[in-house]
Structure 1
């Protein structure tokens, strides 16, 4: 196991080099830069060239890449051109706002998907199964901005139960437990919408896995031995049906920190996804590149984690 993990970590090095080259090349091919994106009518050509020299945008692409990757190796992601702060500080300021929504939506979506998938497979073709299937396709077909705006219209504008957007109540200045309750009050709607979007595909995945498992011979044997149906389903069938889901769980790691760009825009939530979108529009290359590499590292580590956990959970898998 230890040798496998070390070998996989060493294999990440050339993968990250390839990712960095592709990401930087794509950003270099995008027309314009931070200076032209500002589109200031009062800026002269001389001033624009002076700013490009200060930001290092006047250097050749290859030289800029090696300068950037050299700083990345030392942990220096550079300074955000838009926020005038180090990229690491900007990420730290916003990423946890996105994390709190993603974390709770992850817990809720997996909890709902597991039970809905199990009972949908257990009572296949029943009314419950048909209702779950209808809910799945609704969640998968409706866009996130439509559900978000619909919830704002119903629960915020018409009923006045929840706030329209934001993370805290303006001017409240709450601290301690009152601050936590205020944040929870504001994050309820975006968390519910994000949970709905995630639950649909997960429920379908668990339902398919359970349908395959409950037809196996060892499930028939367990029932023939007189075990309770609850024991057969939740101890024997569900345990094996959840094994493929470990792969999905590994890929949830980057999703916890990437932010929901559209939902954060709809609910005016100060998350990193909205900041990332703005960095692309204003050509804030240091932040855009730094955060992209950060997500790439999390994706590779999540893939490694899922492989290791799969080997641990299933004794038939041997990591060599």
Structure 2
């Protein structure tokens, strides 16, 4: 099967999966305790029972759950994600405004974690009894055990308060309205601590995975054969062993992309980064169901896209893997 056919088939399956996710999310949020109309009434300072009933009717909450679900799915199919109850703005507009900020945080963090984690794992596997291997193992254990919000707060204390090298929150300096290259520099400066905080736990996991896989690959028959032929050690490690060793890391990264987006909620809250994570935090606090449903939908679409790219990358890294059923 060629690349176009593979992508089309996976995209078709992805659309069916997203439809199922939309329906499931709607029923799960509908089953949550509490009433949106009561929450809106409390936010407005109180309301009579007639006014609460009017809110329910305006939002369509007086209809059955199945009727509400059909209405919602129909609107989503037309590109309408609804209106945010808390922000009183279009859900699609809010997500479109914040999505680039989240991708700007998650993609560099995952890239650093995959590349640096794989490199550390490969180097430690090449010298399994050296001090470098002990250091990588210790770092992996600490990084894997440390919660992402805890590491974020430690980075804030050390590098924003004790040694004020990096800013503590936001995307831009307070009171600054930069443009052009100055804006890029400010965003990059504010992005350093959140990216390090988010990437640390994944970097630890990928280094452990790469080390374990590399040790297994270096002990395989074809590697011993390559060495017996007189190939240089660097060629054996980086040309023959690395491609097979990196496949499990790519798999793990694809599976954990959704986890990284979820982890961004905590990181964005700690560093006050204006992304989808902060938006989701506000939506949960204010029981903004349309916004929560929209965020879950966008997260599902991102995960499906990343998994399609990972499957395609498999065939690029290892030609023996065919893009077939």
Q: Structure 2 length as normaliser, TM-score?
A: 0.91
* Distance (whole Å) between structure 1 residues aligned to residue 16 and residue 200 of structure 2: 37
**Aligned partners of 2:101 and 2:275 also within 8 Å:** yes
Query: Does 1:246 find its partner at 2:246?
Result: no
Selected match of 1:171 from 169, 172, 175: 175
Deviation digits for residues 25-50 of structure 1, max 9, x if unmatched? 11011112333234244322222222
**Aligned partners of 1:98 and 1:260 also within 8 Å:** yes
Aligned to 2:209: 205
Question: 1:113-192 to 2 correspondence within 5 Å?
Answer: 113-192=117-196
Deviation digits for residues 277-302 of structure 1, max 9, x if unmatched? 22122121111112212222222333
**Aligned partners of 1:78 and 1:286 also within 8 Å:** yes
**Aligned partners of 1:259 and 1:271 also within 8 Å:** no
Question: 1:73-152 to 2 correspondence within 5 Å?
Answer: 73-152=77-156
Distance of aligned partners of 1:5 and 1:146 in 2 relative to their CA distance in 1, 3 Å threshold: closer
Q: How many residues align?
A: 320
**Aligned partners of 1:140 and 1:201 also within 8 Å:** yes
Query: Does 1:214 find its partner at 2:218?
Result: yes
Provide structure 2 residue ranges, at least 5 long, that are not aligned to the other structure: none
Selected match of 2:75 from 71, 77, 85: 71
Shift of residue 249, structure 1, vs aligned partner: 4.2
Aligned to 1:29: 31
**Aligned partners of 2:226 and 2:236 also within 8 Å:** yes
Aligned to 1:17: 19
Provide structure 1 residue ranges, at least 5 long, that are not aligned to the other structure: none
* Distance (whole Å) between structure 1 residues aligned to residue 260 and residue 184 of structure 2: 20
Distance of aligned partners of 1:313 and 1:151 in 2 relative to their CA distance in 1, 3 Å threshold: closer
Query: Does 1:223 find its partner at 2:223?
Result: no
**Aligned partners of 1:98 and 1:256 also within 8 Å:** no
* Distance (whole Å) between structure 2 residues aligned to residue 64 and residue 254 of structure 1: 27
Q: Structure 1 length as normaliser, TM-score?
A: 0.92
SS at match of 2:247: coil
Shift of residue 3, structure 1, vs aligned partner: 4.6
RMSD across aligned positions (CA): 2.0
* Distance (whole Å) between structure 2 residues aligned to residue 150 and residue 261 of structure 1: 17
Distance of aligned partners of 1:192 and 1:217 in 2 relative to their CA distance in 1, 3 Å threshold: same
* Distance (whole Å) between structure 2 residues aligned to residue 220 and residue 211 of structure 1: 13
* Distance (whole Å) between structure 2 residues aligned to residue 273 and residue 262 of structure 1: 7
Shift of residue 307, structure 1, vs aligned partner: 2.6
Shift of residue 254, structure 1, vs aligned partner: 4.7
* Distance (whole Å) between structure 2 residues aligned to residue 169 and residue 266 of structure 1: 17
* Distance (whole Å) between structure 2 residues aligned to residue 97 and residue 12 of structure 1: 24
